[in-house]
Amino acid sequence: MESMERTFDRHVGEAWIERVSAAGDRARERDELAVEEPLEIRVDGKPLAVTMRTPGEDEELAAGFLAGEGLVAKPSDIAAVGPTDDFAANTVEVTTASGLTRDPSAERSFYLSSSCGVCGKGALEHVRQSADRSQRGEPIAPETILAAPDRARGAQEAFDRTGGLHATALFGPDGELIVLREDVGRHNAMDKAIGSRLLAGAFPLPGIYACVSGRTSFELVQKASLAGLAGVVGVGAPSTLAVDLAREQGMLLCGFVRGGSFNVYAGSERIRA
């Protein structure tokens, strides 16, 4: 088969494939695939993390990653973010106003795959120490929760073409879609969505809910908690550690949001009667 070809769309590439039917018929076709490439995140001239991501919104990804790890706390902590000036491919540089809020070098190195982010005991303890409990806000209606996955899915343009991207959408308590971001990594999609608000000067995010396209893992609740989100709803199941953290932080956590019903794992008091 011919080698992979890239299109001008940074999110989507193409490849020749063979489509095989149950009857054994074969046909050569072009297929669109989600792009996956490494990104190095540098902070104040020093490498911090390498993540496998879908290119695009790299500045948002870097900013959201720092926020999701508790390395910045407010928009003014970031002085600038953009591609490096040494023409290094797939590298983004963050310049801070006065350094990171803590030194991550003694805790763990950041090498992330597209399938999972940073997790484990060190991350859990850091969330417990650094994140305030989620602020109480306006309750959310059950019908708003039920509508969120379909509204998010309707905005997934790259998924429509490839079928291979996760998404995180941020909603207001009234169901307003604030932002949606897609990526091959579910944690990257969350970082991009949060980073877009951070770079817009809107951070933290009390009263805002995240809707995720798959399962809800600890890493997603961790990032949501450090961003001050009110909760996370997902079309899949949460993990035990995700439920524990959501309950500790006073967040709403819903799963299996589909088919006219959903499960509430934490924060039932946040749902309007």
Q: Report the catalytic residues.
A: 116
Cα torsion through 36, 41, 47, 48, rounded to 10 = -100
Parallel, antiparallel, or unpaired: how do β-strands 252-258 and 231-234 relate? parallel
The distance in angstroms from the start CA to the end CA of the chain is: 57
DSSP-derived secondary structure letter, 269: G
Report the SS3 class of residue 122: helix
Query: Rounded to whole angstroms, how far apart are CA atoms 156 and 158?
Result: 6
- Reported as type and span, the H/E element at residue 226 is helix 218-226
DSSP-derived secondary structure letter, 97: S
CB-count burial class (<10 Å; 0-12, 13-18, 19+) for 24: exposed
Report the SS3 class of residue 129: helix
